[in-house]
Chain A
Amino acid sequence: MKKPNLNKHWFEMLTATTGVFLLAISLLTEVARLGAATGWGQKQRDLAIWGGSLLLVAGAMLSARRLGWVTRITASEEAHTTASAVDKPLYKQLPREVIARSSVRSVLVSVIGTVFVVLVVNLAARWYLDHYAVNPSVKTVSQKWEILQNMSAPVEWLILGDSSCNQGVVPEKIESMLGGTAINLCTISPMTLLNDALMLDKYLDKFGPPKNVLIVHSYVILGEELKPLIVAKVPLPWGVSDQYRFSPELLSILEQLEISLARYFPLYFENRELRSILLDGFVSPSSLLRSEYHVDLTAKGYMPMFEPRPVDLTGILESLQKEDFLVTNISYVAIEHILALADQHGINVYITHGPMYEELYENRLFQERWAKIRAWWSDIDRRSDQVTYIGSVLTFPLNQMQGEVEHVIHSAAEMYTEKLALEIMRIQHAASSRPVRHQGE
């Protein structure tokens, strides 16, 4: 076969090179933060990326035609299909299915090659989602786990829980009022109580038993189901090594497999997120390379929020009306695990509820649900001397809320933490003044 002379391809080369050049400039303005130097805004970058991509594709297609990859059917191929129509102009001919000779090798190349491309894109998607996650809640999970993994010294107060705790409990306040060091490792409620159990497990592996564990949760936590996609955000090599395998009573092999798939196959399991990223990227390609997202946390893991946001109770009241009080299996399993660890290692565990929107708390429907929730936690309290349930709740008006019924702004978080610390002090004082019972008494 005659080798194509690339010197004759100057037009295609020029088109493709211009495309590459435009793409490179727009990428540099985004990635290397050269926006100010070039004076390009987002619109200009989007235009450059689109223009560059189109030129690149056009150059590649023209080159492909010149290189002979795109050819019209030859007369001999035509003879194998239907009566020859090669001499007719293109628009007068109906396209046909021309079946070319193939081999087992070429079919295998197609199949294996396709699988390979899917796997490579899958890895790229994993990397992209880890670095450019668009869901801040999900990012919180990995960031809190990174804090736990990077901790160099044990703490006196290990604070676990969900988002009501993440932006509601100020560890510095705990330290100043209760003494010792504290860290807030609270994540989000879809992580369920399992997150507390897993974190306690990991903490024990790393530093041995903590003195005190403070668990703060939203009222919905008991009804949360295990969500493999969210749990997969925990930055541990799920299902890969025995060293990291969690207690079988916490997660079955099947659940671990599901979490592994969710972690390692984002093309399928996180396709909703990828879909919205790609659709947004189609309109504004430069948005694909937005700055790396970080949840703003203090050094001790607390997420202060300052801007009040309104709360809508409609959906919550509807679900209170429709859905009965439910404790999911994962909640049972996780709390059993925490109780066992607390008893085994003599850890003081304080369980309480996050700050709450006053209008919800005063609602009759909610009060009915609240009574059941309190009763359930009180039962847990009775099962272990190490566990103390703090059933009191602190409510806040709308101007202190932050979009959700258990999310508060920083000033309210400080007030909430202070009251919580005082309550713990009261409990500790009561415990220490209680006469010590000796065996046999």
Chain B
Amino acid sequence: MLFNSSTFLIFFVVVYTLYLLLQKRLKAQNALLLVASYIFYASWDWRFLSLLLLSTTVDFFIAKAIGSTDDLTPAGKARRKTLLACSILFNLGVLGFFKYFNFFSESFIGLLNLFSMKADLITLNIVLPLGISFYTFQEMGYTIDVYRKHMKPTHNPFNFALFVAFFPHLVAGPIQRAESLLLQVERPRRITIEQVNTGLFLILWGLFKKVVIADNVREVANLIFNNYTNYSGLDIVIGVLAFAVQIYGDFSGYSDIARGIARLMGFELMVNFRLPYFALNPTDFWQRWHISLSTWLRDYLYIPLGGNRKSNLITCRNLFLTMLLGGLWHGASWNFVIWGAYHGLIPILYRVFEKRPAHEDPWGGEHSYIAVTAKMALMFVLTLLGWLFFRASTVEQIGYMLTHISPALSAESAQLASKLLFFALPLFLVEVFQYVTRDLLILTKLPSFVRVFAYGFLAVWLLVFGTSESVEFIYFQF
């Protein structure tokens, strides 16, 4: 049941109508949302509903046990630590089994073969449960927060279950913090006209980014990446650019739709993207791209490792490890490992080459627009290189594509570039507008007649360029 399918439209209309009819009856509304979320999840693969239920139950009880254990005595402290360790082990165990078993098994055998040692390959035919990376991280964040006493555990299992399974963000995030979403689940909600206004805009803009931009640009990216040996020169650059537009349109589109749907029901989900391709440096990029994951990694991995509080070397190690694991979070494949390592290395290089501390502007004058643009362009090129690692299927492909980039044009170049430009241009124009005004919701504030034309354009393009079949979101595979 994809957001961009007619089935979801019918599902949402029914759920939303019932939700509105149950206004001011919090328990009934939550029960409705929980049932709807489980139906939504089961529509993908009902078998994994049991895994979701098991994971929810385990974390609910562990967090409750942590909350009820005092840490005044060493025994209490040890018990809390053990409970937390159980929760983390359980979540990582589930994630590891379903996501990484085959990868580690194959890699281990490969390593043994390097040393001429023979071993039988054990691989299992494991299907990846949808959204597992998202909901396990969300649950782990909750138990860690309870352990750190940032929040008290909830005593209502149904509220906790809804916090985990809330359908708009269940399968591809944004990864929510319990402090925010669980609180919203537990407290009476009010739907304001501002939420409806911006929620509708987010849905329209998200659908546009997904259905019009990502799904159409995907054809260019797929053509080049899937037949990379037929391409060289600038065509490879076009392919990587197309993938950069595709993945951004796809994932930020999903996040916007999810947030828009949640907002229509009176929920606020965290902003997941803040114009990432306008970033000036790696730190800035990760404050703008997949924010819910990067802040999760920062709070639950980077800072516990020591963050930047210790020596430069330790900080670099922490940065590298965090990004490496961030890469591995995306999937069990060497290209994600390379992508993560690459994103771990660039902030280190930036730290080495920056003459001033990161929080100061290294480029001098505040009005040095050329310098700022150059900085932005450099970061964008580095990001593109990262996308090549991310999208390539094999290490050989990465090698081939990197060594075949040149300024040479082919007979297809103009056609591929014009198609990419056609779909990327509206995104670029809107984002420049958002960047200049520093407001992601600037389109909702245009004068009525301009706004109506802008929305009308988005709707017309959705009808004309909407692909006939619903294309799955890229991040569903993670």
Contact = CB atoms under 8 A, between A and B. Distances in A.
B422 interface: yes
B463 A106 contact: no
Interface string A137-175: 000000000000000000000000000000000000000
A69 B441 contact: no
A110 B451 contact: yes
Given A99-B194, A110-B451, A71 B437 contact: yes
Interface in B405-461: 414, 418-419, 421-422, 433-442, 444-453, 455-457, 459-460
A65 to B, nearest CB: 9
Nearest to A86: B438
Interface string A68-109: 011111000000000000000111111111111111101101
Given A95-B275, A111-B200, A282-B418, A118 B194 contact: no
B435 to A, nearest CB: 6
A106 B448 CA distance: 7
A274 B436 CA distance: 33
Nearest to A81: B439
Interface string B460-477: 100111100000000000
A106 B449 CA distance: 11
Contacts of A72: 436-438
A244 B433 CA distance: 51
Given A91-B280, A118-B456, A282-B422, A96 B372 contact: no
Interface string A104-147: 10110111011011100100000000000000000000000000
Contacts of B200: 107, 110-111
B193 A104 contact: yes
Interface in A20-77: 64, 69-73
A267 B438 contact: no
A403 B455 CA distance: 45
Contact of B460 (A94, A95, A113, A118): A118
A278 B193 CA distance: 36
B439 A117 contact: no
Interface residues of A, number: 42
A291 B423 CA distance: 27
B361 interface: yes
A118 B445 contact: no
Contact of A95 (B438, B448, B451, B453): B438
Given A95-B275, A118-B463, A274-B464, A100 B456 contact: no
A271 B193 contact: no
Given A95-B435, A107-B196, A267-B463, A279 B366 contact: no
Interface in B346-370: 361, 366-367
A111 B200 CA distance: 9
A159 B58 CA distance: 77
Given A114-B452, A279-B422, A271 B438 contact: no
B89 to A, nearest CB: 36
B197 interface: yes
A268 interface: yes
A213 B32 CA distance: 64
Contacts of A102: 193-194, 197, 444
A91 B372 contact: yes
A118 B418 CA distance: 26
Interface string B260-295: 000000000001001100101000000110000000
A345 interface: no
Interface residues of B, number: 53
Contacts of A97: 198, 271, 439-441
A90 B438 CA distance: 8
A69 B437 CA distance: 11
B459 A94 contact: no
A117 B459 contact: yes
A77 B395 CA distance: 49
Given A95-B438, A96-B438, A69 B447 contact: yes
A275 interface: yes
A69 B460 contact: no
Interface string A237-280: 00000000000000000000000000000011001001100110
Contacts of B198: 97, 99
B455 A117 contact: yes
A6 interface: no
A109 B460 CA distance: 17
Contacts of B197: 102, 106-107, 110
B452 A116 contact: yes
A283 interface: yes
Interface secondary structure of A, over-half rule: helix
Given A94-B288, A95-B435, A110 B464 contact: no
B347 to A, nearest CB: 17
Nearest to A61: B433
B237 to A, nearest CB: 19
Contacts of B465: 271, 275
Interface string B151-180: 000000000000000000000000000000
A73 B437 contact: yes
B464 A267 contact: yes
Contacts of B422: 278-279, 282
Contacts of B366: 89
Contacts of A92: 361
A109 B456 CA distance: 12
B361 A70 contact: no
A268 B462 CA distance: 9
Given A73-B437, A90-B438, A279-B422, A113 B448 contact: yes
A278 B446 CA distance: 27
B450 to A, nearest CB: 7
Given A107-B197, A117-B453, A267-B460, A279 B441 contact: no
B446 A69 contact: yes
Given A69-B446, A107-B193, A100 B441 contact: yes
B274 A94 contact: yes
Interface in B373-391: 376
A73 to B, nearest CB: 6
Interface in A348-392: none
Nearest to A271: B464
A113 B439 contact: no
A114 B200 CA distance: 12
A72 B194 CA distance: 20
A258 to B, nearest CB: 16
A89 B361 CA distance: 10
Given A73-B437, A92-B361, A117 B464 contact: no
A128 to B, nearest CB: 12
Interface string A310-329: 00000000000000000000
A283 B417 CA distance: 10
Contacts of A110: 197, 200-201, 448, 451-452, 455
Contacts of A101: 194
Contacts of A279: 418-419, 422
Contact of A271 (B278, B440, B453, B466): B466
A118 to B, nearest CB: 5
A96 B440 contact: yes
Nearest to B425: A282
Contacts of A103: 193
Interface of B: 193-194, 196-198, 200-201, 271, 274-275, 278, 280, 287-288, 361, 366-367, 372, 376, 414, 418-419, 421-422, 433-442, 444-453, 455-457, 459-460, 463-466
16 contacts: A89-B361, A89-B366, A90-B436, A95-B434, A95-B440, A96-B439, A110-B201, A113-B455, A114-B452, A118-B456, A121-B460, A267-B460, A267-B464, A271-B465, A278-B422, A279-B419
Closest 5 pairs between A and B when the two form their complex, measured CB to CB: A117-B456, A113-B452, A102-B197, A114-B455, A89-B366
Given A72-B436, A91-B376, 9 more contacts: A71-B437, A72-B437, A89-B367, A90-B436, A94-B288, A110-B451, A110-B452, A113-B452, A117-B456
